[in-house]
Amino acid sequence: MSTFKELIRQVKSEIREVSVDEARKLSAGGAVVVDVREADEWSQGHVPGAVFIPRGFLEQRIEEKVPDKAQEVVVYCAGGTRSAFGARTLRDLGYANVTSMRGGFGQWKEAGFPILVPKTLSAEQKSRYSRHLLVPEVGEAGQTRLLEAKVLLVGAGGLGSPAGLYLAAAGVGTLGLVDSDKVDLTNLQRQVLHTTATVGRPKTESAEITLRALNPDVRVVRHDLRLEAGNVMEVIAPYDVILDGCDNFSTKYLVNDAAVLSGKTNVYGSIFRFDGQASTFVPRQGPCYRCLYPEPTPSEMAPSCDEAGVLGVLPGVVGLIQATEVIKAILGKGDLLVGRLLTYDALAMTFRQFKVRRDPKCAVCGEHPTIKTPTDLEWSCHFEPRAAAPAGVGV
């Protein structure tokens, strides 16, 4: 019967140890670094790029993480003992190039080498987002991405309302709101961010009150202004994804051009009476709004909700399609509406989709773009036209 001291001496004599310096060089040269500590140790910081397999699961999981037994592997723990046992286990499993990092993570930190502290959710967040955490496509990593994401809602009206509510509930950490209007009583039939109590107050302020009450995790950034050529690039700069919920042409073209020029994903939606449409424009991967509608429609041909009316629940459906696209874009999951125009007819209760191709002659995303900076449209324009499916692109 040997003592632990004798056992560890025996194990260390059978394996190869490297210093933290050498481990760092091996890692830079392509070695797989395996952290065999426990989850709470890992969550307090680890070697960047390391693979996490707690010692108790090493035999079970190593082949899945490192299938090639000739691969150079560096094992580490907190001080170099568990990793020595781990290295011997890997050797016994047939791994030919295994080393244990002497002094472990403690020495790595002492040497001043970079460490990565993974973001973790608080107990309250784990509870708030528990139904997301159960979904494999979201999980803790996805929820962390949502919390770190910055989404700009252009318009806190019909489309921005349902989108803003659900994005806040989902834990999108930063929501920017662009709107220069005040809440009007006629808005309340559909703009569910606002309430009777906030009539007369700026929409961004009213929206902030609602969103903060729903989820204090969300930082609301108010942009109480009209987007113009002179401010659009600066306003959208901090954001990862743009949700276009505006109700007029000039802003739609402006947001589209600014999104293309800055390489940002722009999730588009529009509504008219019983009809809605949505698409997602990802620069260089698919068409943009100008590929779909190259020429702005003169304002007199584009009646507004104020002039033509809109079914109150319609923006709920379209705004939530947009919110769904935003969440998928942040998570990097599923198929976005890239190159597809989705149309919704509430009277017939039908959805249709149309293929939309990138136009090589597009003024902003084509091969020879003529729009190189955002420009205001010359005429004052109004609202979206009837959400009609463009001819000849049906699928």
Nearer to Zn ion, 180 or 285 (CB): 285
165 vs 261, beta carbon nearer Zn ion: 261
User: Per the structure block, which two tokens stand in for 148?
Assistant: 């770190």
- Residue 226 backbone phi and psi in degrees, to 5: -95, 135
Q: CA-CA distance, 161 to 177, in Å (whole number)?
A: 10
The residue nearest Zn ion at its CB is 362
Query: Using an 8 Å Cβ cutoff, are 353 and 343 in contact?
Result: yes
**Which one, of 217, 233, 218, 225, lies nearest residue 164 by Cα?**
218
Which CB sits closer to Zn ion, 259 or 323?
259
Nearer to Zn ion by Cβ, of 173 and 339: the residue is: 339
Residue 55 or 290 with smaller CB distance to Zn ion: 290
In whole angstroms, the minimum distance from the beta carbon of 45 to Zn ion comes to 45
The residue among 334, 181, 345 whose CA lies nearest residue 251 is 181
Greatest Cα pair distance, the chain, in angstroms, is: 94
Distance CA 31, CA 349 (A): 56
**Among 112, 28, 10, which Cα is nearest to 74's?**
28
Q: Indicate the angle between helix axes 160-170 and 203-214, nearest 10 degrees.
A: 30
Rounded least distance, CB 359 to Zn ion, Å: 6
- Smallest separation (angstroms) from Zn ion to the CB of 188: 36
Least distance CB 362 / Zn ion (angstroms): 3
As a dihedral over the C-alpha atoms of residue 59, residue 65, residue 69, residue 73, rounded to 10 degrees, the angle is -90
> Rounded distance, CA 303 to CA 381, Å?
10
Please tell me whether residue 255 adopts helix, strand or coil conformation: helix
Nearer to Zn ion, 303 or 366 (CB): 366
DSSP strands (E only) in 260-314: 265-272, 275-281
**Phi then psi dihedrals of residue 259, to 5 deg:** -65, -45
Least distance (Å) between residue 343 CB and Zn ion: 19
Residues 297 and 274 sit within 8 Å (Cβ to Cβ): no
Q: Which residues pair with 377 in a beta bridge?
A: none
Task: Report the residue number, 105 or 253, with the smaller CB distance to Zn ion.
Answer: 253
Instruction: State which residue, 140 or 359, has the beta carbon closest to Zn ion.
Output: 359
CA 74, CA 87: separation in Å to the nearest integer?
A: 8
Residues lying near Zn ion in the complex (CB under 5 A): 288, 290-291, 362, 365
User: For Zn ion, which is the closer residue by CB, 75 or 336?
Assistant: 336
